[in-house]
Amino acid sequence: MNAFVVNRRARWQYLLMLAPSVLLLAAFFLLPLADMFLRSFEHFVPFGNPPPGFTLENYAKFVGDSFYRLTLGRTLLLGATVAIISLIVGFPMAYAIVRVRPGLRAFLTVIILVPLMTSVIIRSYGWMILLGEGGPLASLLAVFGLPRPRLMYTFWGTVIALVQVMMPFMVLTLAAAIQQISPTLEDASRNLGAGRLRMFIDVILPLSLPGVAAGTVLVFALSISAFATPVLIGGASVKVVATVVYEQALTVINWPFASATSFLLMSVTLCLALIQAKLVAWGARWNQ
């Protein structure tokens, strides 16, 4: 039902309303990305002007060099690990948010949202303190006579910090999926003889599967693109693809190569976003 337009004259009114945002995005979002894509086919010369021409050397460099392949592998492993752990930890939280009484639900929602709304820099800094030598974790373990953990600048330290950063995304996606499961189904299975754990396995898990998949894909995509947390927590020993882009862009100033790496990263996340959208649609049909 159309509230404004009744004639063709107003068509340009719509275009006018769209102009600011669309032009802005076209000029400062699409255009630079397209430009970057083109740049990835340029030659690179450390000093002076590069020769003109089209080349695939940047892509070849990324795929060919074992260092970059290793980085890619590490990034993917990091993403998968974070996704799986967030799933395991986040699922009960998502279930709790959907099924508890409204007062408690508001409280839990705030706890989920506050980290989301805090800069990732601050959260990562917090983890630097937590996981560090003087941090509360080390002090707590020292009380029990356990050795200080070496988590800073390690893979697993980065995983722990990233899980906390990504968890709200996982919980919100899962909660949306669980909410579609009618509580009557839970009652029915309990009535027929299933204890709570059994009910969880028989009813909640299968019916929330699309949401589980969507959340996992989302967190995976976000984790492989992560920059601040791996740099601050992982440091030089946990280099990820995003770190490579940053270094190549601002330190080495090899922009063609940085562009190529970026483009590869973006392609992967775009594919994942497509898959995730399909999963969400599947989930809506599944629970009719």
Partner 1 sequence: MEPVSRLLRSVGRWFDSHGASFCFSLFIALVCVFLLAPIAVVIIAAFNPARYVTFPPQGFTFGWFVEIAKNSDILDAAWLSLRIAVITAVIATVSGTLASLVLTRSRMPGVDILKLLLLSPLLVPGVVFGIALLIFFNQYGMIGSVSAILTAHICLTLPYVVRTVTAGLESIDRSIEDSARSLGASPATVLLTVTLPSIRSSMFAGAIFAFLVSFDEAIVTLFLAGVQGVTLPVFIFQYVQYNSDPLVAAVACIMVLVTSAAVVTVIRKVRVI
Partner 2 sequence: MSVEMRSRQPPVALELDNLFKAYGDVRVVHGISLQIRQGEFISLLGPSGCGKSTTLRMIAGFERPNSGRILVEGKDVTEVPVHKRNLGMVFQNYGLFPHMTVDDNVAYGLKRRGVPAAERRDRVADALRMVRLPDMGKRYPKQLSGGQQQRVALARALVIRPSLLLLDEPLSSLDAKLRVEMREEIRELQRQANVTTVFVTHDQDEALSVSDRIVVMRAGYIEQMDSPEAVYSRPATCFVADFMGEANIVEGVPSIDGGQTHLVHKSGVRLPMAEMEAQSGASATIGIRPEAIRIGHLADDSQGIQAIVEDITYRGAFSMVRCRVSPSLELRAIRMNTSETVEPFAVGDTVRLAWPANAARAI
Q: What distance in Å separates the CA atoms of residue 88 and residue 275, rounded to the nearest whole number?
A: 21
Q: Of the candidates 192, 270, 274, 284, which one interacts with partner 2 according to CB under 8 A?
A: 192
Binding mask 133-172 for partner 2 (x = CB under 8 A): ----------------------------------------
| CB-based contact 178:214 (threshold 8 Å) | no
Judged by CB under 8 A, the chain residues 44 through 83 that form the site for partner 1 are: none
Judged by CB under 8 A, the chain residues 99 through 118 that form the site for partner 1 are: 105-106, 108-115, 117-118
CB of 198 to partner 2, least distance (A): 7
Task: Select the span of 38-46, 78-86, 116-124, 183-191 touching partner 2 (CB under 8 A).
Answer: 183-191
Query: Nearer to partner 2 by C-beta: 33 or 194?
Result: 194
Task: Select the span of 16-24, 147-155, 193-201, 267-275 touching partner 2 (CB under 8 A).
Answer: 193-201
> By CB under 8 A, is residue 234 in contact with partner 1?
no
Q: Of the candidates 249, 275, 282, 286, which one interacts with partner 1 according to CB under 8 A?
A: 249
Backbone conformation region of residue 58, classed left if phi is above 0, alpha if psi is from -120 to 50, else beta: alpha
Judged by CB under 8 A, the chain residues 210 through 239 that form the site for partner 2 are: none
Q: Which residue in 219, 227, 235, 214 sits closest to 262, CA to CA?
A: 227
> By CB under 8 A, is residue 197 in contact with partner 1?
yes
Judged by CB under 8 A, the chain residues 73 through 102 that form the site for partner 2 are: none
User: What burial class does residue 136 get, using C-beta atoms within 10 Å of its C-beta: 0-12 exposed, 13-18 middle, 19+ buried?
Assistant: exposed
User: What burial class does residue 26 get, using C-beta atoms within 10 Å of its C-beta: 0-12 exposed, 13-18 middle, 19+ buried?
Assistant: exposed
CB of 206 to partner 1, least distance (A): 20
> By CB under 8 A, is residue 119 in contact with partner 2?
no
Query: Nearer to partner 1 by C-beta: 77 or 249?
Result: 249
